[in-house]
Amino acid sequence: MRISQIWRYPIKSIGGESLSTAAVDVTGLTGDRGWGLADPATGTVLTARREPRLLLATCRLVDRHPVTTTAEGAELHTSADYSDWLGRPVELVAAGDTGGTFENPMDPFGETDWISWTGSARAWHDSGRTRVSLVSTTSLGNWDQRRFRANIILEGDGEDALVDQSVRLGTCILDITKQIDRCVMVTRPQPGLDRDLGVLKTLIRDRSNRLAIGGLVAEPGCIDIGDELTKAGEDGALSG
């Protein structure tokens, strides 16, 4: 398998930017999920599970600061900009030494019975077991990769078999820890994508509600499109 796409998402749940190369540190791709929009009343970091409108914009890093472009073409820079856009008070917050508080409905299709938990520090990831996410073109099939927000798209197949193994990509080594569970976010509309409950129903039926794999960064480095994925310590490439 080789890297065919690299994606960074500077603000959690807002669309990201396509890269040809990326630095990878212990938090994941440098700048990935480095910021979030927090509810000042509760401190909860908003995601598209609670605020689907986040999926209707894209974000890029400009001089190491997130700049968001809405579907209407407006650029957002400050907490006041984001508050005006969403019509509610929010704060643009950089990830720090304390993990963010996130929410999710217990029913993957529902909007009730919400639970909350604390994610990992130094980047707004849901799970402390995942800093980089990868999915193959075979697993994606005809689905648009934007529904799943993986950092790395791999040409080929076989990524699920990498769980509990270490792999090398570029000059990085990743410890693959898990398959990634999915939620109602994958059904939400985005620019050019309609609402589609069938995505989640198919994942539940065919893949135990999992798509993509996640891992931790054992050795930081750099990745580039075209880099081959190998098992750490081996010269041979994996299938694909």
HEC profile of the chain: CEEEEEEECCECCCECEEECEEEEECCEECCCCCEEEECCCCCEECCCCCCHHHHHCEEEEECCEEEEECCCCCEECCHHHHHHHHCCCCEEEECCCCCCEEEEECCCCCCCCEEEEECCCCCCCCCCCCCEEEEEHHHHCCCCHHHCCCCEEEECCCHHHHCCCEEEECCEEEEEEEEEECCHHHHCCECCECCCHHHHHHHHHHHCCEEEEEEEEEECEEEECCCEEEECCCCCECCC
Contact status, residue 168 vs residue 231, Cβ threshold 8 Å: yes
Is pTM beyond 0.75? Reply is yes
Assigned domain for 237 exists = no
Strands 152-155, 132-136: pairing is: parallel
Instruction: Tell me if 199 is assigned to some domain.
Output: yes
pLDDT of residue 158: 95
Angle at Cα 27 formed by Cα 108 and Cα 56, nearest 5°? 45
The mean pLDDT value for 149-155 works out to 97
Closest by CA position to 10, among listed 50, 64, 49: 64
* Tokens (6 digits) for 178: 């898990």
Domain-embedded: residue 37: yes
Q: What is the 3-state secondary structure (H, E, C) of 108-128?
A: CCCCCCEEEEECCCCCCCCCC
pLDDT attached to residue 234: 58
Domains in the chain: how many in total? 1
Q: How do residues 27-65 score in pLDDT, each as one tens digit?
A: 999 999 999 999 998 888 898 888 899 999 999 999 999
pLDDT in tens, 84-142: 999 999 999 999 887 777 776 666 666 667 667 577 777 888 878 899 999 999 999 99
In-domain check, residue 225: yes
Q: What is the CATH number of the domain that holds 121?
A: 2.40.33.20
In a domain, 98, yes or no: yes
In a domain, 240, yes or no: no
Give yes or no for a contact between 83 and 90, defined as CB atoms under 8 angstroms apart: yes
Find out whether 213 and 160 touch, Cβ atoms under 8 Å.
Answer: yes
Per-residue model confidence (pLDDT) at position 117: 55
Give a yes or no: residue 176 inside a domain.
yes
- Residue 103 domain-assigned? yes
The pLDDT of residue 236 is 46
Taking only the tens place, the pLDDT of each residue in 155-194 is 999 999 999 999 999 999 999 999 999 988 899 999 999 9
Distance CA 8, CA 87 (A): 26
Domain region containing 183: 2-231
